[in-house]
Amino acid sequence: MRSDTSHPRFPLGEYIRRHAGLPHDLAQSGMRGELASVRTLLRRVEAGNPEELSRRIARRHGVGPERVFLTHGATEANTLVLFHLARRHARRRGGHPRVRVRRPEYPPLLDTARYAGFRVLRTPGEPEVALLSNPSNPEGTLLSSDALAEFTRGSRDLLVDETFREFSSAPPLKDGGSAELWLTGTFTKAFGADDLRVGYAIAPASQVEAFRNASWLLDGIPPASIASALALDRGRSQILREVRARFQQNVRTLAEFEPEASVLAAPVWFDRTTSTLGGDRLARAGLRRGVLVCPGRFFGEPRGVRICLTRSSFPADFAAYRSVKAELGLLR
Ligand SMILES: Cc1ncc(COP(=O)(O)O)c(C=O)c1O
């Protein structure tokens, strides 16, 4: 058994799990049990094969099916890609490869990159890999193509985690500019299918063979998960209609008070209005009143907190959050 110190830890996940069951949960980005269309579609699941699922994903991304690697969710996809790239660049130039990330960023991306052997580049320079969630978790926004090109400048590989993309109609990223593009995605968020654990990585054409060798750790997705993911994929337009309507409704609720939130492309928002107090203190005050939010320090930005807009209970949860802020004198 591995010791605690060598085992990768995801402190954000631990924080959320430690505080499960509070009446107002604005910390969960998962969609378990939220979508009626998903419940209906999963009642009529026919057997299917992974090749068909890969073909459907490949078609939407405009790539050959051999470039799609099915995984147990986006977490595994990000992990396999980062371990592959760390080895590849360490072999090429020796020493520790470097990665550029944004702040704030979804913390497991950073934790996994470090665990795979990357050094995080804090000063201007040319990292081997640029890594981001887009739309961003925790900010919920999409990067413009100019900003993405600037972020990627000088790197050889670009890994974009598109876990939240399907909450809006934004098309998948098609090209990484000067860098080789790796994409990851999942059925666990916009498809409300947390329990299926099906996601994927899309490798650049030039590295498909090398990545196939590196991804020997992939042990195949259970047939029941493949069949269910196929059922959801076939019912894709029905599900996305429902999930986007819910998301837009929650965005409208949020934007009544925070107008800049009307541009959100993903069901997360990073509240910086708390900066005089700090994210930890606001999160603690929330906990005392049964409101769970994620302290910004987990994302590398301790002045704010992240809240999620995934649930149908969002209007009530957000009202409870606003009363905590009102008591603390934080409302604008
Ligand atoms: C940006 C991002 N990537 C990956 C994941 C994990 O996805 P999965 O549950 O498919 O492993 C999450 C979960 O919230 C996420 O926000």
Tell me whether residue 3 is in a domain.
Answer: no
Residues 6+ apart with CB under 8 A from 315: 250, 253
What residue owns the CA closest to ligand 1's atom 12?
Answer: 163
Q: What is the pLDDT of residue 5?
A: 55
Same domain, 146 and 181: yes
Last residue of a domain, one of 191, 214, 235: 235
Same domain, 185 and 306: no
pLDDT digit string, tens, across residues 82-132: 999 999 999 988 889 999 999 999 999 999 999 999 999 877 788 999 999
Least confidently predicted of 21-35, 246-260, 311-325: 21-35
| Other beta carbons within 10 Å of 305 | 32
> How far is 212 from 39, CA to CA, in rounded Å?
34
Tell me whether residue 174 is in a domain.
Answer: yes
pLDDT digit string, tens, across residues 168-216: 999 999 999 999 999 999 999 999 888 889 999 999 999 999 999 887 7
In short, whether 225's Cβ falls inside 6 Å of ligand 1 is: no
Same domain, 124 and 103: yes
Largest CA distance in the chain: 58
In short, whether 75's Cβ falls inside 6 Å of ligand 1 is: yes
Ligand 1 centre to CA of 141 (Å) is 16
Same domain, 43 and 102: yes
Last residue of a domain, one of 235, 250, 273: 235
Ligand 1 centre to CA of 111 (Å) is 13
Tell me whether residue 6 is in a domain.
Answer: no
Q: What is the pLDDT of residue 187?
A: 95
Q: What is the pLDDT of residue 219?
A: 78
Last residue of a domain, one of 203, 235, 267: 235
Q: What is the pLDDT of residue 1?
A: 40
Same domain, 18 and 105: no
- Taking the model in full, what pTM does it have? 0.95
> How far is 2 from 302, CA to CA, in rounded Å?
31
What residue owns the CA closest to ligand 1's atom 14?
Answer: 29
In short, whether 159's Cβ falls inside 6 Å of ligand 1 is: no
pLDDT digit string, tens, across residues 151-179: 999 999 999 999 999 999 999 999 999 99
State the average pLDDT over residues 33-41: 92
Q: What is the pLDDT of residue 6?
A: 56
Same domain, 50 and 95: yes
Same domain, 58 and 205: yes
Same domain, 26 and 147: no
Tell me whether residue 141 is in a domain.
Answer: yes
For residue 299, give its domain range.
11-36+237-327
Residue type, 186: T
Tell me whether residue 111 is in a domain.
Answer: yes
In short, whether 136's Cβ falls inside 6 Å of ligand 1 is: no
What residue owns the CA closest to ligand 1's atom 16?
Answer: 137
Q: What is the pLDDT of residue 54?
A: 97
Q: What is the pLDDT of residue 74?
A: 97
Tell me whether residue 332 is in a domain.
Answer: no
**Of 244, 303, 305, whose CA–CA distance to 277 is shortest?**
303
Structural domains counted in the chain:
2
Same domain, 116 and 131: yes
